[in-house]
Amino acid sequence: MSKGKDQKPHIGIFGRRNNGKSSIINTIVKQEIAIVSEQAGTTTDPVKKSIEIFGIGPAIIIDTAGIDDTGDLGEKRVRKSLDTIKTIDCAILVIVNNEFGFYEKQLIMQFRDHGVPYVILHNKSDIQSVEEITLEKIKDFSSAEVLDFSVNQPEKLPMLIETLRKTIPETTYQKSSLLGDIIKPNQVVLLVTPIDSEAPDGRMILPQAMAIRDVLDNDCICIVLKETNLKQYFDENMPRPQLVVTDSQAFKFVSSIIPADIPLTSFSIVFARLRGDFAHYLKGTPELSKLQDGDRVLILESCTHQTSCEDIGRHKLPKWIRDFTGKDIQFDIVSGLNHVTDMHNYKLVIQCGGCVVTRKQLLNRLKPAVDAHIPVSNYGMSIAYVNGIFDRVVEPFMK
């Protein structure tokens, strides 16, 4: 399943086989996008669909295999369904026939562990309604809202949509500003965007494009230039910027030109604050100074791409860290949204900016490290630290 390439709210639907999960999806979106069959286990791997939900807007809904699947293949399907919990913002737990037991509790414990809000849907209520004894059993284990539902009773759909709207964290579908709380209307914001072999042909990368739009949305003056034109900009007394945002890999050069009284930060750090674990990054980044010979550092990329000798995560960052520490540090790189659960071999975890993933996906990817008390950092913060400007580039966000 392709994950993490869409920043809309992600809604996962879970439950035992043949509980009607696929039918519920089709009812929500009012079209046949999920295969429906009387045969248990029709849904195998998690299936992700882009949808539009009235009252919520664009969203991603993920249909998962039955949590009670059996056999060697079934166990693999269950593991994939459970892995999906790490990537979602909200869950629908489907039960039928008043069955609430081991499988449902297993899912709820996973929801809790990953901070996923959820609603419990008692499906096929036209055949058998939820009973008071079932509600009491659920109440003893969960405080989630329980809805009686049937795909054959469309009048109940608005109730489900409204419950989902209240359950999905507002931050996942409300527009967030990258810089809105640190810039004011009519200020000049200077964006420094190096163009090297890693830059895509003919377009800006996502963080740069989003930053341009955010500056304009906040009624500021946006100036975009390459680092090679930066000295000329200041030598010719162009409008003095109230904020400079640069690509992190140009920190050393850019910071030598930007006057010390002008706030400076990077696209990666801006995204770390919006979408990452900023508080833990602040705490973990200085641990770079404590690395010793033979220590292992895990670098987490959120996207998958072809690499070159100018790749920041695979080549430049490891070199800069080795040069800074003077130590023989070992690096492991994991790309995409693949998770590393065993963190005991690592002294530090460094996450990319996360521009192509949701905040929930990024936080859950870092969770094993945070739970194991392994320091975590971010590309931009690590680069700033080894260049001796860490305090300067996080200062704009500390007020």
Which CATH number is 325's domain given? 3.40.50.11410
Range of the domain at 42: 10-172
Q: Answer yes or no: is 180 within a domain.
A: no
Q: What is the pLDDT of residue 36?
A: 46
| Model pLDDT for residues 222-265, shown as the tens digit of each residue | 999 999 999 999 999 899 999 999 999 899 999 999 999 999 99
Residue 363 has pLDDT above 80, yes or no: yes
Q: Answer yes or no: is 1 within a domain.
A: no
Residue 196 has pLDDT above 60, yes or no: yes
CATH number of the structural domain spanning residue 75? 3.40.50.300
Phi, psi (rounded to 5 degrees) for 317: -60, -50
Give the mean pLDDT of 345-360: 86
Strand partners, 49: 61
Q: Which of 269, 293, 327 is the last residue of a domain?
A: 269
CATH number of the structural domain spanning residue 247? 3.40.50.11420
Give the mean pLDDT of 361-371: 89
| Model pLDDT for residues 103-155, shown as the tens digit of each residue | 999 999 999 998 899 999 999 999 999 999 999 999 999 999 999 999 998 88
- 258 and 285 fall within a common domain: no
The CB-side HSE value for 190 (13 A sphere, CA atoms) comes to 25
- Mean pLDDT over all residues of the chain? 87
Q: Answer yes or no: is 384 within a domain.
A: yes
- 158 and 193 fall within a common domain: no
Residue 368 has pLDDT above 50, yes or no: yes
Q: What is the pLDDT of residue 273?
A: 87
6 pLDDT band, cuts 50/70/90, is: low
Give the DSSP letter of residue 316. Answer: I
- 25 and 121 fall within a common domain: yes
Give the DSSP letter of residue 38. Answer: S
Residue 33 has pLDDT above 60, yes or no: no
- 16 and 124 fall within a common domain: yes
The residue to which tokens 């996360």 are assigned: 354
Q: Answer yes or no: is 349 within a domain.
A: yes
Residue 308 has pLDDT above 50, yes or no: no
Residue 4 has pLDDT above 50, yes or no: no
- 196 and 264 fall within a common domain: yes
Q: Is there a contact between 55 and 165 (Cβ–Cβ < 8 Å)?
A: yes
Least confident of 83-97, 141-155, 251-265, 334-348: 334-348
Q: Answer yes or no: is 113 within a domain.
A: yes
Show Cβ contacts of residue 276 under 8 Å, excluding neighbours closer than 6 positions.
351, 353, 354, 359, 362, 363, 366, 378
Q: Answer yes or no: is 51 within a domain.
A: yes
Helix axes 317-325, 379-386, angle to 10 degrees: 40
Query: Per the structure, how many domains does the chain have?
Result: 3
- 84 and 202 fall within a common domain: no
Q: Is there a contact between 275 and 354 (Cβ–Cβ < 8 Å)?
A: yes
- 129 and 195 fall within a common domain: no
Q: Answer yes or no: is 3 within a domain.
A: no
Q: Give the amino acid at 367.
A: K
Least confident of 5-19, 113-127, 132-146, 341-355: 5-19
| Model pLDDT for residues 309-330, shown as the tens digit of each residue | 357 888 899 999 999 999 999 9
- 15 and 164 fall within a common domain: yes
- 52 and 157 fall within a common domain: yes
Q: How far apart are CA 93 and CA 16, in angstroms?
A: 9
Q: Which of 212, 239, 269 is the last residue of a domain?
A: 269
Q: Answer yes or no: is 140 within a domain.
A: yes
Residue 81 has pLDDT above 60, yes or no: yes
Each residue of 129-153: b (16+ CB within 10 Å) or e?
A: ebeeebbeebeeebebebbbbbbee
Q: Which of 269, 303, 321 is the last residue of a domain?
A: 269
Q: How far apart are CA 167 and CA 136, in angstroms?
A: 21
Task: Tell me the C-alpha to C-alpha distance, in Å, between residue 394 and each of 210, 244, 265.
Answer: 20, 12, 7
Q: What is the pLDDT of residue 310?
A: 53
